[in-house]
Amino acid sequence: MTVRVAVADDQALVRMGLNVLIEAEEDLESAGEAADGRQAVELVRARHPDVILMDVRMPGMDGIAALREIASDERLSGTRVVVLTTFELDEYVFDALRGGACGFLIKDSEPAELLRAIRLAAEGESLLSPSVTRRVISAFVSRQPSGTPRPELGSLTEREREVLALVGEGLSNEEIAGRLVVSPDTARTHVSRAMVKLHARDRAQLVVLAYRAGLVG
C-alpha cells in the first residue's frame, strides 16, 4: 500500500526537503503541500492524504488551529496529523496533544525517524519524538488541574494495564510484542481494547492516560 503524505510548512525549503525525502521512498508519495494552516485544511479536504506533516507556527491559521479543524471533521478522519515543532517544549505541543495529533517530531529529527513516524501514523499508531516524549507528556500531565480524576483502570485486564504502561513509554506495537513475547497482532489487539475501554481518541491520548494513571513516571 502506498501512503499518501501531505506537507504543511510556511518555509518553502522545508517543504521541498520533506517532499524529496517522501518521494525517495517506494511506499510513500507526495499528496501536495500547503504554506499555512488554512491551505492545509483545504488540501486535506480536497485530497484526503493518509498523513499530513503539520508545522506548528505558520502565518494566518497556525498548525494547531488547522489540526483542530481537521480532527473535528468526521469526513477527514482518515487523515492522520503528525506535528512538527522546532522547540522541544513549545507550548503549542500541549495544545496539539489535546487536539488529536498522532505524533510529534522535532524538525531536526533523523530522516529515518521521520519516515518511521509517517508509516506508524498511517497504520494508526503514534510516535512521540524520543527527545521529547517524557518531558512533553509529563509536563502536560502536571498542568492538569489538581482535581482532574485519574482514568478508571478497573475495566482493564492485568495484561491490558501492562500494555498501557508500555504504550506510555512510547513503545510501538512491534516493540510491545517483543517486550511481552507475543505477536504484533496480539499486542495491537490489547492496545485497541485498552483504547475502547478508556475511551481514548487515539494512541497519543492513551499515552497521556498512562501518565495520569501513574503507570509511567
* Domain limits, the chain: 3-140, 147-212
Only one residue has cell 505558520, namely 58
> In a 10 Å sphere around its CB, with 0-12 CB exposed, 13-18 middle and 19+ buried, how is residue 199 labelled?
exposed
Which pLDDT does position 76 carry in this prediction?
92
Q: What is the pLDDT of residue 137?
A: 60
Contact 8, 66 (CB under 8 A): yes
pLDDT of residue 40: 97
- pLDDT tens readout for residues 158-209: 999 999 999 888 787 888 999 999 998 999 899 989 988 988 877 777 877 8
pLDDT of residue 153: 82
Contact 14, 34 (CB under 8 A): no
Q: What distance in Å separates the CA atoms of residue 150 and residue 208, rounded to the nearest whole number?
A: 10
Three-state SS letters, 66-94 = HHHHHHCCHHHCCCEEEEEECCCCCHHHH
Q: What is the pLDDT of residue 45?
A: 97
Residues with Cβ within 8 Å of 185's Cβ and at least 6 positions away in sequence, in order, are none
Residue 131: per-residue pLDDT: 54
In this prediction, residue 170 carries a pLDDT of 74
Which pairs count as long-range contacts for 97-102, CB under 8 Å and 24+ apart, including other chains? 97/136, 97/137, 97/140, 97/204, 97/205, 97/208, 99/64, 99/67, 99/68, 99/71, 100/67, 100/68, 100/71, 100/201, 100/202, 100/204, 100/205, 101/54, 101/67, 101/204, 102/126, 102/202, 102/203, 102/204
For residue 132, the model assigns a pLDDT of 55
User: Are 45 and 135 within 8 A, CB to CB?
Assistant: no
CATH number belonging to domain 3-140 = 3.40.50.2300
**Hey, what CATH class is 147-212 in?**
mainly alpha
Residue 88's pLDDT is what? 58
pLDDT one digit per residue (tens) for the chain, 217 residues: 899 999 999 999 999 999 999 999 999 999 999 999 999 999 999 999 999 999 988 999 999 899 999 988 989 989 999 988 876 555 666 677 777 787 778 888 889 989 988 998 888 776 666 555 555 566 655 665 544 556 678 889 999 999 999 988 878 788 899 999 999 899 989 998 998 898 887 777 787 788 778 887 6
Q: Which three cell numbers stand for residue 102?
A: 498522532
What integer pLDDT is reported at residue 129 of this predicted model?
A: 60
